[in-house]
A and B are shown apart, each in its own frame.
Chain A
Amino acid sequence: MLKRIAAAAPAVLVTAAVAAAQAVVALPAAAQPQDWRIGFQEPATESARAIQDFHDLLFVIIVGITVLVAGLLAYVIFRYRASRNPVPRDFTHNTLIEVLWTIVPVIILVIIAIPSFNLLYFLDRTQNPELTIEVTGQQFSWVYTYPDSGITLYSNMKQQDQLEEGEPYLLAVDEPMVVPIDTNVQLLVTASDVIHSFGVPSFGLKTDAVPGRTNETWFRADRTGTFYGQCSELCGANHAFMPIEIRVVEKDEFEQWVASRQTAAAASAPAMVAAAD
């Protein structure tokens, strides 16, 4: 019986330790899995921050409930073992306690529900998109189109021999999506073959790319850097090989990037027309 309690304890302790560590450890700023992290990736948007704060609140509640149930169970099993409590009682009802354990969960759920509805409507869509990017998932890469500037990026995963220093294999791509900081970016997500899902953990983003449908989502990144995500819906043999890389840059840097891309496109277009002739 002690064995059972000993077996139950680590589960509870680890869960509690996760909460403690989340609160204490200062996380390095980056957007990929980090050493010794046991929580979410460092947020880079208001949405992700709100989601994570809400998750942390939930976490305290569910750890509390889990510890309560596990503790009660351990206590009951220890205290009322046959050798210590040889005469069992035979009660089968207790109205007060039954009402309590029905009402209290209802109250807890209401407390959880109210902020989650608020968050839901906040995350839904942006009122004022400043930049629109069309995201198309295909087996097994992403296509990003900037309709306002006529840029199209074909974003493929970098193979191991293409990687530059410090780039993580299976996350780095040859053509990352580039977006400016502090801008409401509207994403129109679809797919051309099977269902994919566009997920970037540090942005709090996850939207399925469904053929025949255009799903809208948005983000507003508040720091520069490189942010990684992965396809999050099973899409075939190379599902593990269609990562998402988003580079958030300063606004002027983004303008330059757009201009350089448009020049490059303009330079190659006459050549292509000539070749077609």
Chain B
Amino acid sequence: MAHGPEAAAGAHGHGPAHGAHEHHDHKPSFFVRWFASTNHKDIGTLYLVFSVIAGLIGGLFSVIMRLELQDPGVQYLADGQQWNVFITAHGLIMVFFVVMPALIGGFGNWFVPLMIGAPDMAFPRMNNISFWLLVPAFGLLVASALVGDGAGTGWTVYPPLASIGQPGPSVDMGIFALHLAGASSILGSINFITTILNMRAPGMTLHRMPLFAWALLVTAFLLLLSVPVLGGAITMLLTDRNFGTGFFKPDLGGDPLLFQHLFWFFGHPEVYIMILPGFGIISEVLPVFARKPIFGYKAIAASSVVIAFLGLLVWAHHMFTTPSPTVVLVFFMMSSFLIGIPTGIKIFNWVATLWRGTIEFKTPLIFAAGFISQFTIGGITGIIVAIFPVDWQLHDTYFVVAHFHYTLMGGAVFAVFAGIYYWFPKITGRMMNEKLGKWSFALMYIGFNLTFLIQHTIGLDGMPRRVYEYPDVGNLVLYNRISTIGAFVLGLGILLTVINILRSVKRGPVAGPDPWKANTLEWFSTSPPPDNNFDVIPRVRSVEPMKDIRRQIAYQTGTGSEAPPAAETLVRG
């Protein structure tokens, strides 16, 4: 790769005022670079840093919650309202300000343009506002916990608890926070769809597009379909609270269940919005470290589409106890079952990708394998809670808490960690410490399973979720203590990765453009890539353009025996 950042820096102008500057040593000021950025990589970095900070805050909430639950009495919290504020803040922060910004805003921004050979996102300024809407949203949410009694509604904000049950400004602030975060997501998804559909490298048909880009494309459509529904629902809640409307008030002819339908029409696709980009990362990491092409590329891409479609049709399985007419329950039970099939196909395809490969035990692969084992458990307990009669026993117990943490923490967050270890060299130009990474994984894996496996048992034993005191009967105390100990081991594991990041940013060994011998185009550029990403883009002939290039080089230098399928053509970028 002959091109470097110096040669490329000039391609992106920063306004006419800078036009006269020397291109190769042009550097925007700190303020312009980070606050008025239009570069997808800088914005991606902002998203990633933001989600790490939000994650530490959200994690702190969960540590306090686990401390409170290690004994049956009240130890650390003032009262139940404070507990409810904590569970609400923890849920909303983790969903809207950690997992989504990390996977979509962070990795999506950084790597979708690079992977498809584009110089930037389609709408760079809109990209910037997408991020900067998220910051005040987070500020509003955190402030809502500090104002008055706080918003103690749970992340689902069900009225009437969220209307007549919570007077004071906190819930309104939470609603505005979600409005801003929702606007940010909608703008972001428009950007992704436009970028992916219009800006792919020459030769990169949709069927040669990296699976991570596929995942982001599907996620963006899901966001576009579901987030406006949430916006509508919480707007109605806002007017119910403040302007005397009665959408959800039975005494004015409204219905609280309307909110639940609207919320879960958003809320269930949201689950897939959080996990699909994670699936994408796993589908990128496995073939690289197994040194073998992905098994069933089309099946994986298609199963994402099927999951997204079915994900829009299952929302009422969150409402099995409300209850609904039996035929409705039958429909939602069936549609929920069906999601198991494309999800199973993905898992089998991943295992088959590893089958007869040459597996290198680098940290990204280990996190990906941890993801598969944990997500399998989270997915399959999903079948259990999808079955209406059994869900009657398990709904709103700790079993459900265990189930969705297996998908979102054991799944999505482990995928984020796989992504961090995989792409850190590209983002910073430096390698992370492998030993620290493996220790971090070991602690996280043990800690995670210690925390959440036992919660299935706590739920079967009948302990409801969202309680801060529980009866001192049976072994509930013991089980809860095991869970709390696990949470600390898990937290320690996460901190090791944070330390690893901080150490490696300055002191890690220099990575070079393609340290993993990976398959996709982001590794064709330098690490970190120049402002415009690529001076030249290779014509894409397969799902693995970088492998084609390596083969070509080996062939032309006489070190490889295999002839490439066709002559290499370089296209001016």
A: which residues have CB within 8 A of B? 1, 3-4, 7-8, 10-11, 14-15, 18, 32-41, 48, 50-52, 54-55, 58, 62, 65-66, 69-70, 72-73, 76-77, 80-82, 85-94, 97-98, 101-102, 105-106, 109, 112-113, 116-117, 119-121, 123-124, 139, 168-171, 193-195, 197, 199, 201, 204-208, 210-213, 215, 217, 229-241
- Write the chain B residue with the least CB distance to A11: B449
- How close is A83's CB to chain B, nearest CB, in angstroms? 9
Tell me if A112 and B383 are in contact (CB < 8 A).
Answer: yes
Given the known inter-chain contacts A14-B453, A88-B358, please indicate yes or no for A105 contacting B344, CB distance below 8 A. Answer: yes
| 3 A-B pairs closest in CB distance | A212-B250, A33-B474, A240-B467
The answer to the question of B64 belonging to the interface, with a C-beta cut-off of 8 Å to chain A, is no
Please, which residues of chain A bring their CB within 8 A of the CB of B72?
Answer: 170
CB of B395 within 8 A of CB of A120, answer no
Identify A62's interface contact among B354, B384, B438, B461, CB under 8 A: B384
Contact with A along B453-471 (1 / 0, CB 8 A): 1000100111110111111
* Cβ contacts under 8 Å, B388 to chain A: 116, 120
The CA-CA distance from A76 to B445 in the complex, in Å, is 19
Query: Would you call A234 and B344 a contact (CB within 8 A)?
Result: no
- Residues in B whose Cβ lies below 8 Å from that of A52: 393
State whether A90 and B256 are in contact (beta carbons under 8 Å apart), knowing that A213-B250, A231-B464 are contacts in the complex.
Answer: no
Do residues A193 and B164 form an inter-chain contact, with CB atoms below 8 A? yes
Q: Which residues of B are found within 8 Å of A233, using beta-carbon distances? A: 158, 321, 396
Least distance between B256 CB and chain A CB atoms (Å) = 6
Q: Assess whether A80 is in contact with B161, with CB atoms less than 8 Å apart.
A: no
Contact partner, B392, options A109, A123, A193, Cβ 8 Å: A123
Q: Which of B293, B357, B453 has the most CB of A within 10 A?
A: B357
**Bound complex: CA A72 to CA B445 (Å):** 18
Is A62's CB under 8 angstroms from B462's CB? no
A51 & B390 in contact (Cβ 8 Å cutoff):
yes
| Residues on the A chain within 8 Å of B461, using CB | 33-34, 37-41
Instruction: Enumerate chain B residues within 8 angstroms of A113, measured Cβ to Cβ.
Output: 333-334, 337
* A3-B380 CB under 8 A given contacts A97-B352, A195-B256, A234-B466: no
Report the separation of the CA atoms of residues A124 and B327 in the bound assembly, to the nearest whole angstrom: 11
**B84–A33 contact, CB under 8 A?**
no
Q: Which residues of B contact A206 (CB under 8 A)?
A: 321, 392-393, 395-396
Q: Can you list 10 A-B pairs with a CB-CB distance of less than 8 A?
A: A14-B453, A15-B377, A33-B473, A37-B474, A90-B293, A102-B341, A109-B340, A113-B333, A210-B257, A233-B396
CB within 8 A of B380: which of A37, A66, A120, A217?
A66
A120–B330 CB distance below 8 A:
yes
Q: Take A51-B390, A77-B359, A116-B333 as given contacts and tell me if A207 and B323 are in contact as well, using a CB distance cutoff of 8 Å.
A: yes
**A101 to B358 Cα, complex, angstroms:** 24
**B372 vs chain A, min Cβ distance (A):** 6
Shortest CB-to-CB span from A40 to chain B, Å, is 5
Do B380 and A62 have beta carbons less than 8 Å apart?
yes
Q: Provide the bound-state CA to CA distance between A66 and B347, in Å.
A: 11
- In the complex where A169-B471, A195-B161, A236-B84 touch, is A89 in contact with B460 (Cβ < 8 A)? no
Whether A109 touches B396, Cβ cut-off 8 Å, given contacts A33-B461, A92-B293, A92-B294, is no
The reply to whether B471 and A66 form a contact with Cβ atoms under 8 Å apart is: no
Residues on the B chain within 8 Å of A201, using CB: 393, 462
Whether A92 lies near B295 (C-beta < 8 A) is yes
Instruction: Assess A88 versus B389: contact at CB under 8 Å? Given A69-B376, A113-B337.
Output: no
How close is B267's CB to chain A, nearest CB, in angstroms?
A: 15
Residue contact A116 to B356, C-beta cutoff 8 Å: no
Which residues of chain B come closer than 8 Å to A94, judged between CB atoms?
Answer: 352
Query: How far is A20 from B115 in the complex, measured between Cα atoms in Å?
Result: 48
| Separation of A73 and B81 alpha carbons in the complex (Å) | 44
The reply to whether A32 and B80 form a contact with Cβ atoms under 8 Å apart is no
Instruction: Let me know if A3 and B165 touch, CB within 8 A.
Output: no
Closest residue of B by beta carbon distance from A38:
B457
Q: How far is the CA of A76 from the CA of B347 in the complex (A)?
A: 13
Q: Which residue of A lies closest to B375 (CB)?
A: A69
CB within 8 A of A194: which of B164, B326, B360, B395? B164
| Cβ B361 vs Cβ A81 within 8 A | yes
Give Cα A147 to B245, complex, Å.
34
Interface contact A197-B396, CB-CB below 8 Å: yes
Chain B residues near A4 (CB, 8 Å)?
366, 369-370, 445
Give A204 to B292 CA distance when docked, in angstroms: 50
CB of B569 closer than 8 Å to a CB of A = no
The B377-427 residues at the A interface (CB cut-off 8 A) are 377, 380-381, 383-384, 387-390, 392-393, 395-397
Contact of A235 with B389 in the complex, beta carbons under 8 Å: no
Tell me how far the C-beta of A120 lies from the nearest C-beta in chain B, rounded to whole angstroms: 5
Residue from A11, A35, A87 having most chain B Cβ neighbours under 10 A: A11
Q: Are A33 and B476 in contact (CB under 8 A)?
A: yes
- Give the nearest-CB partner of A81 in chain B: B359
Query: Do A70 and B470 form a contact, CB below 8 Å, given A1-B361, A7-B442, A238-B80?
Result: no
A234 to chain B: closest CB distance in Å? Answer: 5
Fill in one digit per residue for B345-371: 1 if any A CB lies within 8 Å of its CB, else 0: 101100110111111110000100110
Contact B438 A33 (CB under 8 A): no
B208 on interface, CB distance cutoff 8 Å: no
Does B473 lie within 8 Å of A116, measured CB to CB? Answer: no
Asked if B58 is an interface residue, CB under 8 A from chain A, the answer is no
CA distance A72 to B353 in the complex (A): 12
B496 at the interface (CB under 8 A from A): no
The residue that A232 contacts in the complex, of B292, B293, B369, B396, with Cβ under 8 A, is B396
B275 to chain A, nearest CB (A): 17
Give the shortest distance, in Å, between A158 (CB) and chain B (any CB).
12
Q: Which of A37, A90, A92 has the most CB of B within 10 A?
A: A92
Taking the closest CB of chain B, its distance from the CB of A8, in whole angstroms, is: 5
A16 to B435, CA, bound (A): 32
B470, A240: Cβ atoms closer than 8 Å: yes
Q: Is the CB of A237 within 8 A of B161?
A: no
CA distance A213 to B294 in the complex (A): 52
Most chain A C-beta atoms within 10 Å of own C-beta, residue among B255, B457, B473 = B473
Task: Provide the bound-state CA to CA distance between A70 and B445, in Å.
Answer: 14
How far does the alpha carbon of A237 sit from the alpha carbon of B473 in the complex, in Å? 22
Nearest Cβ in chain B — how far from A6, in angstroms? Answer: 9
Contacts of A40 in B (CB 8 A): 393, 460-462
A231 to chain B, nearest CB (A): 7
**Interchain CB contact under 8 A, B348 and A199:** no
A215 to B525, CA, bound (A): 62
The distance in angstroms between the C-alpha atoms of A5 and B370, with both chains bound, is 10
Q: Is the CB–CB distance between A80 and B357 below 8 Å?
A: yes
By the criterion CB–CB under 8 Å, are B464 and A230 in contact? yes
A232 pairs with B321, CB closer than 8 A: yes
Beta-carbon contacts under 8 Å, B131-173 to A? 152-154, 158, 160-161, 164-165
A204 to B391 Cα, complex, angstroms: 10
A117→B323 CA distance, assembly (Å): 16
Question: Given that A77-B369, A207-B321, A208-B322 are contacting pairs, would A171 and B471 also be in contact in the complex, using a CB cutoff of 8 Å?
Answer: yes
